[in-house]
Amino acid sequence: MKIAHISDLHYSPENLDEADRCFSYAVDDALNRCMDVAVISGDSTDHRLDAHAPALNRLATNINRLSLGMPVLMLQGTFSHEPPGTLRNFALMGTTHPVFIAERVQQVSLFEGRFFESAGPVFNDEELASVLKLGADVVFTCLPSINKGQLAAAVGAKNAATGLEAVLGDYLAAAGRINARLRAAGIRTVGVSHGTVNGCTTEHGVTMAGFDHEFSLGALFEAECDAFMLGHIHKSQQWERGGRVVAYAGSPGRFHYGEEGDKGYLAWDVETGNARALLVPTPARETVCVDFDGPPDMERLAAIAAEAGDKFVRVRWQVDEEHRQSVDRDAIEALFAGASALKLEPRILPVVRSRSQGISIEPTVDRKIERWAEHANVEAAPIVERFRLLESGYPEAIAAAVLAGLTDDDVGSAAIGDGAVASLPEPVSSSESDTVPDATVEVVPAAQKSWLEDDLFAA
């Protein structure tokens, strides 16, 4: 049996062009390959859509086209993407072949082009006897997204975060006992679900490992399905054990920057005890992601722009807050003028200033300066000396001393002589005098005065 496995279409106004181009290609390819049945394993929409939304109309059109060539099974995906009830209208779109909507945990048989569903989570004895007697082309074990609120009510809030895998594992084991009997009778068995397998890899190359994921590989293989078709993770990947295969179809379109690998759908060939899945690539958009630890390197961007063509480009960089204006965004936009889209994502690093520990407990300003110097790895003595000068001196005297110091640096002590240094008087309190005494400065010889003034002026 040939099965077209498509997942995570994510139709929405934002994704409409990408989603519809890639899904339309998958539908055309599945029809050309004369597939026997199509499975859409969740997240057909990206969020709640209005009835008049063009995205909903385009999705319905392609579902209808798909049903002209084969029966279609659609699984309920993540509730935030597909609000409950969203898929029910698609059941009305089947014309030549039916469209079955799997909204609950159940088993469904396909016989002579018609779907027959179980009353409970698995076939009861009467239903199973009927399937074994009449036969079936394939039996689907459907496990849509689980409502975490209902799970918390059943197992308790404390166990809800880590108990999901155990609960689903128990169900898959129970379904496995039914599927083992079906496989023994020569009936193909296929699992369909939407969730995260512990240890799988996301489209961004991140390994999903933890205690809050829905499935383990061991539990999925215990379901005794010839093929287990998964949705939710946008990267196509598969695992094989004894001829049986568990696989993610991935998404047919590339909806985020940085997604790794080819995008497409899986063309399955399923027999009892043996399954094979082939990824059929779709014309998903190409993206280029450039990241800089500091400001953008314009030469590197120019080289990338020469090869980027009409791809979708994202440029990321990070700079300090003081240098945020140093990046020429207009120049970057000019380089990628021919790109289909350009996304600039600067990360501005705020300036963080922290107080030096222990300053507040020091009794004097001198000690506070010394404590700061310890944290800043600078010599404290010159700073303390200058602070004392500011604290006890007068502006005119300090200025004269600075000028004398500049003279020493520029002319040299040999040319000036031993003089030209200022002596600072003792400070006078306001009670003693309201005037500031002049600093006493040793006079520079007249012969040196004219060229020294010119030099000081230049300094």
The more confidently predicted of residues 273 and 158 is: 273
- pLDDT level of residue 178 (50, 70, 90 thresholds): very high
Q: Is the pLDDT of residue 290 over 80?
A: yes
What is the distance between the alpha carbons of residues 360 and 334, in angstroms, rounded to a whole number? 53
- Output the pLDDT for position 234: 94
Q: Is the pLDDT of residue 52 over 60?
A: yes
The answer to which of 29-38, 48-57, 159-168, 398-407 has the lowest mean pLDDT is 159-168
The residue-averaged pLDDT of 237-264 equals: 93
| pTM, to two decimals | 0.73
Share of the chain above pLDDT 70, in %: 83
* Domain definitions of the chain by residue range: 2-281, 287-349, 393-458
Comparing C-alpha atoms, which of 288, 296, 341 is closest to residue 317? 296
What is the distance between the alpha carbons of residues 170 and 22, in angstroms, rounded to a whole number? 37
State the amino acid at position 397 in one-letter form. Answer: A
Q: Which residue, chain included where needed, has tokens 């520079």?
A: 444
Q: Is the pLDDT of residue 437 over 90?
A: no
Homologous superfamily of 2-281:
Metallo-dependent phosphatases (3.60.21.10)
What is the distance between the alpha carbons of residues 314 and 2, in angstroms, rounded to a whole number? 39
Tokens found for residue 267: 């063309």
Task: Decide the pairing of beta strands 138-143 and 114-117.
Answer: unpaired
How far the first Cα of the chain sits from its last, in Å, is: 92
pLDDT in tens, 69-79: 999 999 999 99
pLDDT in tens, 379-433: 989 888 888 888 887 778 788 888 887 766 555 444 444 444 444 445 444 444 4
- Output the pLDDT for position 398: 80
Q: Is the pLDDT of residue 434 over 90?
A: no
What is the distance between the alpha carbons of residues 26 and 266, in angstroms, rounded to a whole number? 9
The answer to whether 337 and 310 have CB atoms below 8 angstroms apart is no
